[in-house]
Amino acid sequence: MRALLLENPHPNADAALSALGLDVVRHAGAMDEDELIAALEDVQVLGIRSKTQVSARVLAAAPQLLAIGAFCIGTNQIDLAAAAREGIAVFNAPFSNTRSVVELAVAEIIALNRRLTERDSALHAGVWEKSAAGAHEVRGRTLGIVGYGNIGTQLSVVAEALGMRVVFFDNAEKLALGNAQRMPSLDALLEVADVVTLHVDGRAGNAGMFGREQFERMRPGAIFLNLSRGFLVDYAALRDHVRSGHVAGAAVDVFPDEPKRNGDPFDSELRTLPNVILTPHVGGSTEEAQEGIGSFVSHKLARYLADGTTTMSVNVPSLVLEPAAQARYRVSYLHRNTPGVLALVNQTFAEHGANIEGQILGTRGEIGYVITDIGTSLPDEAIAALSEVEDTIRLRVLPAT
């Protein structure tokens, strides 16, 4: 078995996969669609970060692929529904780099409010410009958080510790932490926030959510941050509002089109603007975060390969079945979620004399997943019969653990 790891996840990702006997192959950058299809021949595990796009075409061309690990928070670069239909489980790291993103956001909020980018540039140019003009403490200012998930909530707590007032808006019902105040709409948040920061997910419905209208609704002199997804924001509109002075500063870590490899050229309408911080998608790129992500995702992949556990999978039912003491085999069975499949599975085992020691079923949309521990011999005829069921997507027989 082989694992292909792209975009340099932390080296500790190799250990969990190698321990299962996988041959781990690394490639420094991302791959385009055709490159990836060619590279996935005879590959069972794919590891990526944010730049590699895994389309339905790629997935259909990789019949040996069992699992994908996204060594990052987001999974919008993967066609999750297509992966599920092909019987490919996808795992990510939704929590491991939360602190890193929060710390970058806090650093940028302080730097922009103090206009440190301009002071730094002037001194590097040999010009002494000591002035308090346009510089503010963050204490007492209002932080508006758009998206109150893992990152937004932790940022809320840290910002309050700095003395900021926190307001937030989220489409889902979220419990406010500390003294944070939920706003009834995005517009209501923009009317009161001195700093607006985006921390929403990459679902298609969020594309273009922040444009010229939203920038115009921001308070004059407010600051804007986007550390979530590049396609959320109209950066031409941001450029115009920074130039006019309506937006006093901005920090952007994500872009609609990002280079695939280090050293590739980069351009943006935000380059050269005053009091604007541009970073190359490094919100979660600390050594601590990458080490945690490498360990977390690789162990999820290894566990799925070894015993079928799908805890925290983002596209197939999340199941864990503790090993039965008398079990000899474990059958991992992904199938289309149609009525009667579980009864058919159990009938097939019974007809071939296979005794069930433990079993668990879960469904997620159009996908069903059954893990079954067998305590007796498991005739090849039983596996063949299940494989021929019309609703079968992926069938694996594993040694009981």
- Maximum pairwise Cα distance, the chain: 86
Query: What number of helices (H) and strands (E) belong to the chain?
Result: 13, 16
Q: Which of 10, 49, 229, 330 is catalytic?
A: 229
Nearest-CA neighbor of 228 among 203, 248, 247?
203
- Strands 367-374 and 356-364: what pairing? antiparallel
**Main-chain dihedrals φ then ψ at residue 48, nearest 5 degrees:** -135, 175
For 185-295, strand residue ranges (E) read 195-198, 222-226, 247-252, 276-278
Our answer to whether residue 258 is catalytic in this structure is yes
- Residues 161, 167, 170: CA angle, nearest 5 degrees: 120
Our answer to whether residue 366 is catalytic in this structure is no
What type of residue is 131? S
Our answer to whether residue 352 is catalytic in this structure is no
Q: Which of 258, 328, 336, 396 is catalytic?
A: 258
Q: Which of 141, 241, 281, 299 is catalytic?
A: 281
Signed CA dihedral, 302, 295, 105, 191: sign only: positive
**What contacts 172, CB < 8 A, 6 or more positions away?**
none
Half-sphere exposure for 171 (CA within 13 Å, toward CB): 7
Half-sphere exposure for 25 (CA within 13 Å, toward CB): 12
Q: Could you list the active site residues?
A: 229, 258, 281
